[in-house]
Amino acid sequence: MPVLASVGGGAPLERGRDYVAVTTVIFDMDGLMFDTERLARDAWRRAMAEHGYALDDSVYLAAVGRTVEAACRVFVDALGPDLPIEDIEAAKARYLQEMLTPRPPLKRGLVVLLDGIGDLGLSTAVASATARAEVERRLSSVDLLERFDAVVGGDEVARGKPAPDLFLRAGERLHVSPAGCVVLEDSEAGIRAAAAAGMIPVMVPDLAEPSPLVRALAAAVVGSLPEVLGVLQELGAARR
């Protein structure tokens, strides 16, 4: 049975308002399901240091949630046009792959959350800025690929986050309305993308606390993945 949510999210649910059935939960991957953002940051820093550059947190956080191409543009804009970004990105990819072998570390409570979502009868998808083949490889390495009804990678859409394309493509593959999708994200770019898609954004912060913009856009901000079940149950409690 689907849970119910107020259209647009963000405001307290009230009886007597119009509600839409929540049918789907869409997951980001890095920083949300896998504890990989710190590893990626370390890989970028190591690669840049080899070329004489330092990567500040403020610059790195501006790239979180974006495709590799978009992240590279962030770094070039911040560090200058002479940045040998192609060489740095290639080295970063090697270092990160080493750190993720044989499998990426799971975020606490992910399996509990997936079990709970299954009990609610909701469909699930992964929509990640990472290329689809790599998303599927990582999910398979931890025996979670079969837990998702659809997977969308950043190489399958024209625009990455904060554009809504990834999440809209996931909804299309599952043949569900955007208004019925809850999106779980750890980054500002992802929350903006979910809101732009007309979906219900829920943030589980990772490296950075939510900005005022994120708090305004998100239907909820929770401290851990298991707490998402409470949000879904709260939405369900608003059923008329």
pLDDT in tens, 196-206: 999 999 999 99
What is the spatial distance between Cα 230 and Cα 145, in angstroms, rounded to a whole number? 24
Single out the residue of 160, 97, 109 nearest to residue 130, CA to CA: 160
Are the C-beta atoms of residues 231 and 203 closer than 8 Å to each other? no
What is the spatial distance between Cα 115 and Cα 13, in angstroms, rounded to a whole number? 25
Instruction: List pLDDT tens digits, range 6-45.
Output: 444 444 444 444 557 788 999 999 999 999 989 999 999 9
Q: What is the pLDDT of residue 45?
A: 97
> Structure tokens of 214?
């994120």
What is the dihedral sign for C-alpha 123, 97, 39, 161? Answer: negative
Q: What is the pLDDT of residue 233?
A: 79
For the entire predicted model, the pTM comes to: 0.87
Q: What is the pLDDT of residue 11?
A: 45
Q: What is the pLDDT of residue 8?
A: 44
> Is 143 exposed, middle or buried (CB count within 10 Å of its CB: 0-12, 13-18, 19+)?
exposed
Catalytic residue set = 28, 30
Instruction: List pLDDT tens digits, range 65-87.
Output: 888 899 999 999 999 999 999 99
Single out the residue of 103, 99, 125 nearest to residue 45, CA to CA: 99
Instruction: Please report which confidence band the pLDDT of residue 156 belongs to, taking 50, 70 and 90 as the band edges.
Output: very high
Could you tell me what percentage of the chain is helix, strand and coil, using 3-state DSSP and rounding each to the nearest 5? 50, 15, 40
In a 13 Å sphere around the CA of 1, the CA atoms on its Cβ side amount to 6
- Average pLDDT over the chain reads 89
Average pLDDT rounded to a whole number, residues 98-121:
94
Instruction: List pLDDT tens digits, range 82-102.
Output: 999 999 999 999 999 999 989
